[in-house]
Structure 1
Amino acid sequence: MVQMFIDTGLSTRLCDNTSFKQFCRLLEHRFKTPGSARVTSLMGARMETATEKLKDIVREARRLTLCVDGWSKRGLTAAFLGVSACFYHPPTGKAQHTLLNLHRLDHPHTGEVIARCIDLTLERWDISDDKVLLVVTDNGSNIVKAIRLLRDRQEQVGADFQARPELMDTEADDTETESSDTEAEENGLELENFLENDEECNKFQRMPCLAHTLQLALKDAMKHPGVESTILKARLLVHAVRKSSVANEQMVRRCGKTLIRDCSTRWNSTLHMINRLLETKGELNQVLEDLNMDTLLTSDWAKLENLLKLFEPFAVHTDQLQNDSQSLSHVVPCLLNLEAHLLSTTVVLKPVAQLLLRSLRDRFAGILNPDCCSFDATAAGACLVDPSVSFVLHSPELKSLQTAAETFV
Structure 2
Amino acid sequence: MMETIDKRLTVPKKTKITNLVEKMYLAEKEKFKHRLSMARKITIGLDIWTKKGLTASFLAAIAALVEESKEEWGIPKEKILTIITDNGSNMVAAFHCNAEEDSSSEEEISRIVMRREKKTKVQSAVCIMLIHVTYETLERRTPCVVHTLQLVVNMIQKELTINRLLGKVRQLVKLFRKSSVATERLLQQCGLILIKDCPTRWSSTYLMMSRALELKDHLTSVADSMSWDSLLPSEWQKVAILKDLLLPFAEHTKVLESDTNSLSLVVPALLDLRNHLSEFSLAHARSYRDAATLAQKMSANMEQRFSCFLDVTANKLSPLAAAACFVDPGVSAEAIVENNDEGIQNLLKVAEDYITRSVPPRLQVEEQVSENEEEEIVDTVAPETTHCPKRPRFRFFSPSRPSRPRTSEASSIRQEIKKYKEGLSHAANTEESGMEFWISQSSTAFTLLKPLALDLLAMPASQAFAERVFSVTGDLTRGRRNRARTTLERSAFLKLNQV
Q: Work out whether the TM-score is over 0.5.
A: yes
Which consecutive unaligned segments of at least 5 residues does structure 2 have? 103-109, 118-134, 356-499
Q: Within 5 A, what are the aligned runs for 1:4-23?
A: 20-23=1-4
Matched, 1:279 2:225: no
Matched, 1:375 2:317: yes
For 1:356, which of 298, 318, 321 is the aligned residue?
298
Three-state SS of the structure 2 residue aligned to 1:376 is coil
Distance change (3 Å), C-alpha of 1:341 and 1:31? farther
Larger Rg belongs to: 2
For 2:57, which of 105, 108, 116 is the aligned residue?
105
Distance change (3 Å), C-alpha of 1:288 and 1:338? same
Higher strand share: 1
For 1:211, which of 146, 153, 157 is the aligned residue?
146
Render the CA deviation track for 1:89-139: whole Å, top value 9, x for unaligned.
xxxxxxxxxxxxxxx526xx22xx222322321222122333322111111
Report the counterpart of residue 460 of structure 2 in structure 1: none
The answer (yes or no) to whether the contact 1:242–1:248 under 8 Å persists in 2 is yes
Three-state SS of the structure 2 residue aligned to 1:285 is helix
Match of 1:70, as an amino acid?
I
The answer (yes or no) to whether the contact 2:89–2:113 under 8 Å persists in 1 is no
For 1:313, which of 240, 248, 258 is the aligned residue?
248
Distance change (3 Å), C-alpha of 1:336 and 1:134? same
Aligned-partner Cα distance in 2 for 1:30–1:390: 67
Match of 2:43, as an amino acid?
T
Three-state SS of the structure 2 residue aligned to 1:65 is strand
Match of 1:395, as an amino acid?
N
Matched, 1:288 2:240: no
Which consecutive unaligned segments of at least 5 residues does structure 1 have? 1-19, 80-103, 156-173, 182-199
**Greater relative contact order, per chain length (Cα 8 Å cut-off, separation 6+):** 2
Q: CA deviation at 1:339?
A: 1.6
Q: CA deviation at 1:235?
A: 1.2
Distance change (3 Å), C-alpha of 1:119 and 1:265? same
Distance change (3 Å), C-alpha of 1:352 and 1:127? same
Report the number of matched residues: 319
Matched, 1:401 2:347: yes
Q: CA deviation at 1:241?
A: 2.2
Q: Within 5 A, what are the aligned runs for 1:174-185?
A: 178=114, 180=116
Distance change (3 Å), C-alpha of 1:176 and 1:272? closer
The answer (yes or no) to whether the contact 1:142–1:179 under 8 Å persists in 2 is no
Report the counterpart of residue 365 of structure 1 in structure 2: 307
Q: CA deviation at 1:41?
A: 1.8
What is the aligned-residue identity percentage? 34
Q: CA deviation at 1:244?
A: 2.3
The answer (yes or no) to whether the contact 1:260–1:273 under 8 Å persists in 2 is yes
Q: CA deviation at 1:203?
A: 4.3
Render the CA deviation track for 1:291-334: whole Å, top value 9, x for unaligned.
11111111111111111111011111112111024232211011
Matched, 1:235 2:175: no
Three-state SS of the structure 2 residue aligned to 1:274 is helix
Distance change (3 Å), C-alpha of 1:177 and 1:330? closer
Aligned-partner Cα distance in 1 for 2:44–2:349: 29
Distance change (3 Å), C-alpha of 1:403 and 1:128? closer
RMSD: 2.9
TM-score (norm 2): 0.59
Three-state SS of the structure 1 residue aligned to 2:3 is helix
Q: Which runs of 4+ in 1 moved over 6 A?
A: 174-177
Matched, 1:39 2:17: yes
Larger CA deviation: 47-56 vs 128-137: 128-137
The answer (yes or no) to whether the contact 1:221–1:355 under 8 Å persists in 2 is no
Report the counterpart of residue 37 of structure 2 in structure 1: 59
TM-score (norm 1): 0.71
Render the CA deviation track for 1:189-248: whole Å, top value 9, x for unaligned.
xxxxxxxxxxx9984111110110011011124422332222111112112222223222
The answer (yes or no) to whether the contact 1:383–1:389 under 8 Å persists in 2 is yes
